[in-house]
Amino acid sequence: MKRAAELLLRIIYPCKCIGCGKLLDIDKDKWLCGECAEDFKETTGQKCQSCGRPIDHSGKCADCRDGKIYFDKGFCALEYKGAVRNAILKFKYKGKFRYSEYFGKILSDYAAGNIAEKYHYITAVPLHRSRLRERGYDQSELIAKILADSMGVEYRTLLVRQRHTVPQNKLNKKQRQENIKNAFIPAENADIEGRSILLADDIFTTGATINECSKILKKQGAQRVDFIALSSRSEES
Ligand SMILES: [Zn+2]
Ligand SMILES: [Zn+2]
C-alpha cells in the first residue's frame, strides 16, 4: 500500500536527478540517475590520515602537514566534484533544502561504516544569523540532525558565528584563514568541557573553517573533536 502511494506520488510529482536535473523513471531511484550515481560512490583511493580527504600519496595532505590542526580526525564521505558538486550547490544556494533527506542518509551511512568513536554531542558549523535569514535554512544543521538521530547522539548547538564572513569559496587559502579567524564563539550555556564532539559540515576545502571551530572547542576544554564532511575536495584541485 505504501509502495502504491509512493508510485502515485511520483506520477504526480516526477523526481528529477539532483545531479543533472534529468527526469527519473518512477520505478528507479528517486534522487539520482545511473550516471550521476557513479559520482556518489564512496571514494576508494588513499586518504589523508588526518582529515580524510582524497590524496594521491600516503600520509597526510599538505594542509594537515603544514598548519596547526586542532581536530583529532576527519571523515569525508564524498569527493566534491561532478554530480556531487552540482547537487550540493543546489542544496546550499538554490533552496533545495529537501535534499537534506538524502545527504543526511549519506552522512549516516558513512558514519555507520567508518566511525567507531562515541560522542557526547554532534554539532554543525554554524551559519551567521543574517545568512540564515537570507537562505531560510541551515543546510549543515539539517544534515547534522539526521546524522545525530541515526547515531543516537544528542544534537546540540555549541558554537555561534558572531562575525559575518565573506563566502570562503571566493578566497585563497591564506585569505580563508584570515577571513574565518575569530568568527566563532561558544554558544551560551554550551557544555563543552571534557566532551567528545563530532562537528558536521557540507564541504571540506582547505579545512580553515573546521579547524577554527575545532580550535574554539578545544580552548573550551573539549576532550576530543572529530569532524565529518559530506564532501571534500581532493588535495590537487
Ligand atoms: Zn543525473
Ligand atoms: Zn589532511
- Work out the pLDDT band at 8, boundaries 50, 70, 90: confident
Buried b (16+ CB within 10 A) or exposed e, 67-92: eebbbbbbbbbbbbebbbbbbbeebb
Average pLDDT, stretch 86-90? 97
Average model confidence (pLDDT) across the chain: 92
Is pLDDT above 80 for 1? no
Listed by start position, the domains of the chain span: 1-39, 42-232
Average pLDDT, stretch 62-91? 95
Summarised one tens digit per residue, pLDDT across range 180-230 is: 888 899 999 899 999 999 999 999 988 899 999 999 999 999 999 999 999
Identify the nearest ligand to the CA of 49 by its number. Answer: 2
Q: Distance, CA 27 to ligand 1 centroid (Å)?
A: 15
Q: Which residue has the higher pLDDT, 48 or 11?
A: 48
Identify the nearest ligand to the CA of 232 by its number. Answer: 2
DSSP string computed for 155-215: E---EEE-S----GGGS-HHHHHHHHTT-EEEPTT---TT-EEEEEEEEESSSHHHHHHHH
End-to-end CA distance of the chain: 47
Report the CATH fold assignment for 42-232: Rossmann fold (3.40.50)
Question: Which has the closest alpha carbon to 125: 231, 211, 190, 221?
Answer: 211
Q: Distance, CA 181 to ligand 2 centroid (Å)?
A: 19
The predicted structure's pLDDT at residue 11: 82
Q: Distance, CA 236 to ligand 2 centroid (Å)?
A: 12
Question: How is residue 190 written as a grid cell?
Answer: 554550551
Sign of CA dihedral 201, 112, 115, 59: negative
Question: Which has the closest alpha carbon to 115: 226, 192, 230?
Answer: 226
Angstrom distance (rounded) from CA 219 to CA 226: 15
pTM, rounded to two decimals: 0.92
Is pLDDT above 70 for 77? yes
Summarised one tens digit per residue, pLDDT across range 141-156 is: 999 999 999 999 999 9
Q: Distance, CA 205 to ligand 2 centroid (Å)?
A: 10
Question: How is residue 31 written as a grid cell?
Answer: 534522487
Which residues, listed in sequence order, are joined to residue 23 by a DSSP beta bridge? 16
The predicted structure's pLDDT at residue 225: 98
